[in-house]
Structure 1
Amino acid sequence: MSLLGLLLTLIYYGLVCFVLVLTILCIVLKISSTPFPIIHRHKEEEYFIDPNDSDKKCQFPSINDDPTVDLSVIIPAYDEEKRLPVMLEECMEFLEEKLKQEPNFKYEVIVVSDGSKDKTVACALKYSKKYTCEKFRVLELVQNRGKGGAVRYGMMSSRGKYLLFADADGATKFPDYNLLEKSIYKLANSWKDDVLVIGSRAHLEEESMAKRSIFRTFLMHGFHFLVWIFAVKGIKDTQCGFKLLTRSAARRIFSIMHVERWAFDVELLFIAQSYKMQIDEIGVRWEEIDGSKITPFFSWIQMGRDLIFIWLRYQIGAWKLKPVKAD
């Protein structure tokens, strides 16, 4: 057999094996997946502690309720006792100053401890005691679910007309919330409109403002190439942990999300684009903070795998979008 013939044979059998593996994977995913996620919420996760009332347990509201505050800030935190105080000081200073300027402004901060083993909960409760649980609440998850799971539980327990999730490391400067707020007010007439505004590091990189290691930048670009192929088009930075949603958009997106680990941002944006929601991408200040939970190589490999699974499951109908109700 000639070299060309051998090469063609290898390519042929390689394609056959690929198709067989893909078919088996699709069948497995179809069988093992449910159309909509089932929220297995532990009973104790339905309550928050009021440290100013003898640690009384109070029940969290539901995102399906009407909003009672203007802004909910969701902060997922896993073993963040060292980095969290710095972020919270900046966050609370900004929100309290905004309250002084806008006396009718109401906000809440929800720190979601994602099964933390350190003193993250105790640290957060100090702020709840200082600012009262009307402004600051702590949601303690019994077990680690991943950043996506923590954000989702926080969103489902919030009261805001608008909902922001922000990383606990403080990599994004919190005052840049003003940029996102300006955009969402421009696009949405009220919290009942489906609008999503995302912070982006890509805009800042073009201006040489973002600081990130070369290796992490290389992996990020590789991941975004896969994102562009399989899931989300037209978004330069899907992974920045600074996103603002209207309550309506959050209600629709987080009620059907499945991914609980790092790639949850991709599914979030995939769902938003599938629903044809308005999405705006706004440049924010960002810098890499020591202590990241992401292990660059293995975390990006996991995210790439999850990305392909997201695409496959929606393609074969294992995961489905809820039909949009007619007005």
Structure 2
Amino acid sequence: MKHGRLLDNHYNLTILLPAYNEKDRIGNTLSTYMNYLSRTPVYQHQRQTLNNYTTSCTNNLVSGTVSILVVDDGSSDGTAEFIRDRSWFSEQAGPPAGDGNINENNYWTVDPNVNVITLPQNSGKGAAIERGMIELPSSFDQGSSCIRKSVKSLVLVADADGSGDISCIDRMLHCLEEMLSNYSMSSTKRTDQNFGQTPALVVGYRQNLVPKSPLRDLLSQGFRSTVSFLFSGQELGVRDTQCGFKLMTVSAGKVLYKQLNLRRWTQDVEVIYRARLLKIPTAECGIVWVDKDGSKLITKKTDALFVSLAMFGEIANMRLQYALGTWTATP
């Protein structure tokens, strides 16, 4: 990467959590995410890359702010009310003391106020994420007294049960920056002025995943086989199409989730397929994932069969509709 693009970088990160009847689990997710980030330096890979680069701004190379947006997908258990009453909240510890190598400004600044949007009825995970994307600001760059200050607006889509380990955010940021840097050097259309606005997507790859139950394992295998069959394995360019942990630029999120046709279980496949159609740079990044109890898809053995058949039908129909041009991906 070129130093001129990386000096004085600032990330505006929004964590977007779609939630349906998650009152019993989302409090732990919110407190875990907020406390971890408030004690974590922003993008450690970048700091290491620029460690030997001397400038008047080296004490403020990287900074970041974090806000959390929960979209309550018509929950009936009081999920939104639970978040708003803040009984789950614990005071954030803040950056650790005594670290002379890292400026306090280089830690994530976490907004303690969680924003909540409530949908009038349950419309599906894809619909909830789409609604959340509408609320997000776009990426922008602004000048600074240093070489430049690049402000990148990013969104991390995660599951409300906290299955995705938030400690993987640094790894995913590194994947995103590497991808943007490579794209910048290979594209004649890229300039410093639009560097922070380029759509880009990083999809989590769940490593060493051990499902909590044989039924969930059966559903996962069935879904993976369906996608492989309908897309010839390589067309999507992503191995784990089911992972709910995705980091992207806001510009990518607004395009990929705009007017989704698949708004429930299979929305991830359409999002990734749209990225391929629109030639949005996409990378896969290994993450730590803990399969949590409480699946809302499978409660008995017969559910695995019916859900698998429904998913097969939705994805097959999606493949057909895009092939016919009935459904389109528009930038």
TM-score by length of 2: 0.69
State the partner residue of 1:320.
Answer: 328
Tell me whether 1:267 sits opposite 2:270 in the alignment.
yes
Tell me whether 1:72 sits opposite 2:14 in the alignment.
yes
Count of aligned residue pairs for this structure pair: 251
Amino acid at match of 1:153: R
Tell me whether 1:173 sits opposite 2:158 in the alignment.
no
Task: Rate the CA distance shift 1:98–1:133 in 2: closer, same or farther, 3 A.
Answer: closer
Q: Distance in 1 between matches of 2:265 and 2:128?
A: 11
User: Shift of residue 136 of structure 1?
Assistant: 2.1
Q: Percent identity?
A: 30
Amino acid at match of 1:317: G
Deviation digits for residues 181-237 of structure 1 (CA, Å, limit 9, x no counterpart)? 111122125431121101112xx23xxx54443332233222112212324533211
Q: List runs of 5+ in structure 2 lacking aligned partners.
A: 1-9, 44-59, 92-109, 139-152, 182-194
Q: Distance in 2 between matches of 1:267 and 1:233?
A: 10
For residue 292 of structure 2, the aligned residue among 277, 289, 292 is: 289
Q: Distance in 2 between matches of 1:191 and 1:164?
A: 16
State the partner residue of 1:150.
Answer: 128
Deviation digits for residues 170-190 of structure 1 (CA, Å, limit 9, x no counterpart)? 112121122111111221254
Q: Distance in 2 between matches of 1:220 and 1:293?
A: 14
For residue 77 of structure 2, the aligned residue among 105, 118, 127 is: 118
Q: List runs of 5+ in structure 1 lacking aligned partners.
A: 1-67
Task: Rate the CA distance shift 1:260–1:178 in 2: closer, same or farther, 3 A.
Answer: same
Tell me whether 1:238 sits opposite 2:241 in the alignment.
yes
Q: Distance in 1 between matches of 2:118 and 2:226?
A: 34
- 1:318 is paired with a residue whose SS is coil
- 2:326 is paired with a residue whose SS is coil
Amino acid at match of 1:306: E
For residue 249 of structure 1, the aligned residue among 231, 252, 270 is: 252
- 1:75 is paired with a residue whose SS is strand
User: Shift of residue 69 of structure 1?
Assistant: 6.5
Instruction: Give the number of the structure whose alpha-carbon radius of gyration is greater.
Output: 1
Residues 70 and 116, structure 2, Cα contact 8 Å, conserved in 1: yes
Amino acid at match of 2:198: D
Deviation digits for residues 30-75 of structure 1 (CA, Å, limit 9, x no counterpart)? xxxxxxxxxxxxxxxxxxxxxxxxxxxxxxxxxxxxxx96111100
Residues 77 and 114, structure 1, Cα contact 8 Å, conserved in 2: yes
TM-score by length of 1: 0.70
Deviation digits for residues 235-288 of structure 1 (CA, Å, limit 9, x no counterpart)? 211011100111221122122422110100000001001112221111111122
Q: Which has the higher helix share?
A: 1
- Tell me how large the CA RMSD over aligned residues is: 2.7
Amino acid at match of 1:73: I
Residues 191 and 248, structure 1, Cα contact 8 Å, conserved in 2: no
Residues 136 and 250, structure 2, Cα contact 8 Å, conserved in 1: no
For residue 199 of structure 2, the aligned residue among 194, 203, 217 is: 194
State the partner residue of 1:139.
Answer: 117
Q: Distance in 2 between matches of 1:233 and 1:150?
A: 23
State the partner residue of 2:282.
Answer: 279
- 2:325 is paired with a residue whose SS is coil
Amino acid at match of 1:186: E
